Amino acid sequence: MKRFFQVGASLTAIILGAGQSDKAEAFALDFGLPADASTTASGEASTEARAWEEELAVSFAPSPAPVTPPLSPSNSFDIPGLPSPSNPPRVRQNAATPLQHQHWKISVDKAAAPPSFKPDQATASTNLFTGDADSLVARAVGSAEGTRTPEGGYTAAYYGHRDPGNGAWNLGSFSYQHGARSPEEADEKQLNRLKIQAASLKQQAEHKGLTLSLQEELNGIDLANQAPLAALDRGYIDWLNQARQLHMAEDEGVLWARTRSFLDPDTGRWNAPGLGNTVHSISQDQDRRQRAISRAISVYKRRETDSMRLAMATPSAPPPEPTATKRERVDFFLSMDFE
């Protein structure tokens, strides 16, 4: 009797379990699936249900590891998190799929790299007159005349002084004494003369096959400002050429050529009454002027070097982005689903 009771209880549990299983299939495993997409009356899954199951399987599939593209030969590198308009990443729109870390490529513009700089390039001879009254010529010759400082400042002599040689009234950076109403007008007039004289000196040097250094050219211009005949007619370039043939050092050759330019080619005697007419007094004056020019060159080169280094250290503004590229970036980010 007890055995029959146990058999009856088992049958009752099986019947009740089958009912709960049907209820579970109808409710517990729904996951939001539409009622008409679960199963058909024949027990076969509909087309829409199969599509949903495939999509669900893809959603829960493990995400593949991100693959970093190789470096391109055009000096490019990959940085995570930056988009590229040329090859935007494809983002899955399925909210169940986590967003992958993307790798975008940016290229380095070789043209934007700062150019190499050499201090010797700071004072090319073609730029000696750039800036006119604030040019290297004005600073160098003005330093030799005592009217300017090597840094370009002005001394009291700039505004007018008596010439120690002939007693004429001098004005401006170059001690101009041929009639001017102001130091500024005096500088303008003398600069026009010195540009012509500098061109003449270079022409004479080219005729001799010489390429003048910065010091040689500036000292020739200063000599033309002090005594035009000594610089242009009595052989500064000729004496400079001889100094090179004698293998003199540059400083020594320049001083030797400046001093001997005061020799009268007709008499062979010194012709510099304002300088004492002795080799010692003339050489001493020319050495003083040469040293003043050298200091002005050093200051000018240092400023040019500092300015160039500052320009190289200051990052330039990036070029404007093309309008089409901007639209591509905006469209790309708007299409991303961050939910």
What is the reported pLDDT for 220?
A: 98
What band does 144 get if pLDDT is binned at 50, 70 and 90? very high
Please write the tens of the pLDDT for every residue from 235-249: 899 999 999 999 999
Q: What pLDDT is attached to residue 305?
A: 80
- Give the pLDDT of residue 337: 63
Q: Which of 52, 133, 69, 128 is nearest to 103 (CA)?
A: 69
**What percentage of the chain exceeds 90 in pLDDT?**
47
- Residue 42 has a pLDDT of 45
Average the pLDDT over 24-46 and give the result: 43
% the chain with pLDDT above 70: 55
pLDDT at 294 > cutoff 90: yes
Q: Which tokens is 142 given? A: 């003005």
Torsions phi, psi for 43 (to 5 deg): 90, 0
pLDDT at 295 over 90: yes
Q: Which of 56-70, 118-132, 137-151 has the lowest mean pLDDT?
A: 56-70
For residue 109, give the DSSP letter.
Answer: -
Listed residue (184, 178, 248) closest to 213, CA to CA: 248
Answer yes or no: are the C-beta atoms of 190 and 228 closer than 8 Å: no
**Is 94 a domain residue?**
no
Which pLDDT value is given to residue 39? Answer: 43
Please state the rounded mean pLDDT for residues 68-90: 44
Q: How confident is the model at residue 229 (pLDDT cuts 50, 70, 90)?
A: very high
Residue 232, domain member (yes or no):
yes
Judge whether residue 285 has pLDDT over 70. yes
Q: Which of the four pLDDT bands, split at 50, 70 and 90, describes residue 2?
A: very low
Q: Which residue has the higher pLDDT, 9 or 170?
A: 170
What is the rounded average pLDDT of the residues 176-196? 96
**pLDDT greater than 50 at residue 273:** yes
Rounded average pLDDT over 64-80: 45
Let me know if residue 164 belongs to a domain.
yes
Q: Kindly state the average pLDDT of the residues 302-321.
A: 73
Look up the domain containing 255 and give its range.
126-304
Q: What is the DSSP string of 28-58?
A: IT-TT--GGGS--TTSPPPHHHHHHHHHHHH
Tokens of 1: 């009797």
Asked if residue 73 has pLDDT above 50, the reply is no
How many helices (H) and strands (E) the chain has is answered by 10, 4
Q: State yes or no: pLDDT of 30 exceeds 50.
A: no
pLDDT of residue 164: 85
Domain count for the chain, please give it.
Answer: 1
48/216: higher pLDDT: 216
Q: What's the confidence (pLDDT) of residue 8?
A: 53
66 is a domain residue: no
Residue 240 has a pLDDT of: 97
> Tell me, what's the pLDDT at 303?
84
Q: Residue 51's closest CA among 33, 63, 64, 29?
A: 33
Residue 74 in any domain: the answer is no
pLDDT at 123 over 90: no
DSSP state of 121: G
pLDDT of residue 127: 82
105 found inside a domain: no
For residue 309, the model assigns a pLDDT of 74
Residue whose token pair is 């009217």: 147
**So what's the pLDDT on residue 231?**
95
- With respect to residue 54, please indicate whether it lies within any of the assigned structural domains: no
For residue 207, pLDDT beyond 50: yes
Residue 159 covered by a domain: yes
